[in-house]
Amino acid sequence: MKVATVAVDVGYGNTKSAFPLGSDVATSMFPSLAPLSATSSLTPHGGSVLRARNVVKVEVDGATYEVGPEVQLTAAYGNTGRALSEDFVTTANYAALLAGSLNYAKASQIERLVLGLPVHNTQKYAAFLKERFTGTHDFGWGTIQIGSVLPLPQPLGTLVTFIQQSGKKYDPDNAYLVIDVGYFTTDWVVARGYAMDDTRSGGFPCGAARVYQQVASLISAEKGESMDSIERIDKAIRDAKPLLFYGEDLDIRDYLAEAMAVTQQPVKEVQTRVGRSEDIRAIILTGGGAALYAPTIRAAFPRNTIHVMDAPCFANVRGFYTIGAARQSARSAA
């Protein structure tokens, strides 16, 4: 299917996308896990109570991966699961996750592909993404043509979404601080209107996963058994349910309260870079880890108004789609 714009934010924790569906804009999300595909399947075909998982097979550089909403969480453990590194966008995992998003969007010909990058990596990897993904590709189910690639700092998408939702209440004459708490990074942008203040914007490699890792360490110390299933910890926190650990149902809240101390360092980095905040009209908090970091951010900026975005996981990618669609319309009208 030919589409004008597709926006994809391949994050360390989840891969989100926004794409046209008739006259509407649809969104999709799945874990950023890309394990090598099994060479055989035990799931029967047809007439069985078992069903196939909702995943897609993706071919990258001669290897076959599987990605999608129902990828096994245990795939996070091992050298082909979740990639937590500064050069993530250069890896086969990233390409597989991006390709999976395009498959779920049913897009085979894209005029403009908008991609998100952490603030501190945008200049370093923007050119790479343009060169890597502009052109014709085959990920195992036919060719995909991408006319152009537009990499953007991740918090910028949230700012655009916030502007759209605020309407006339948005104040373009004063600055806003957007804090995006992701899985592996915390990024922030200070902007007035659509203009970023580079001297006050930045990123820090510490996000929601650091809290999950601290919870795992606390459980390991208390129970005397190694605990490294941070994906299950993430799910237990999001679902507000006990965590099963060797037959015992652990109340995750007991460990989470103590683990929150690790949020202090990245928030202090934001404070240091932003400086005095008397000129900030409001702080916009977004990202999958927004709820985890919200108490620390409120304590750090007690005199500023803080808006927590609705559906924060999709705030970036919705804004990216808006930017891409607007540029495409302007180009067509020129």
Mark the ranges of the chain whose per-residue pLDDT is less than 50. Answer: 77-80
Is the domain spanning 2-153+315-333 CATH 3.30.420.40? The answer is yes
Q: What is the pLDDT of residues 35-53, one digit of tens each?
A: 888 755 555 555 555 567 7
User: Average pLDDT over the chain, rounded to whole?
Assistant: 89
Q: What is the pLDDT of residues 236-278, one digit of tens each?
A: 998 999 999 999 999 999 899 999 999 999 999 999 999 999 9
pLDDT, residue 77, reads 47
* CA atoms of 141 and 126, how far apart (whole Å): 27
Residue 311: C-alpha distances to residues 44, 160, 182, 225, 243 (Å): 37, 14, 14, 36, 24
Cβ atoms 218, 225 nearer than 8 A: no
* CA atoms of 218 and 21, how far apart (whole Å): 45
pLDDT, residue 322, reads 94
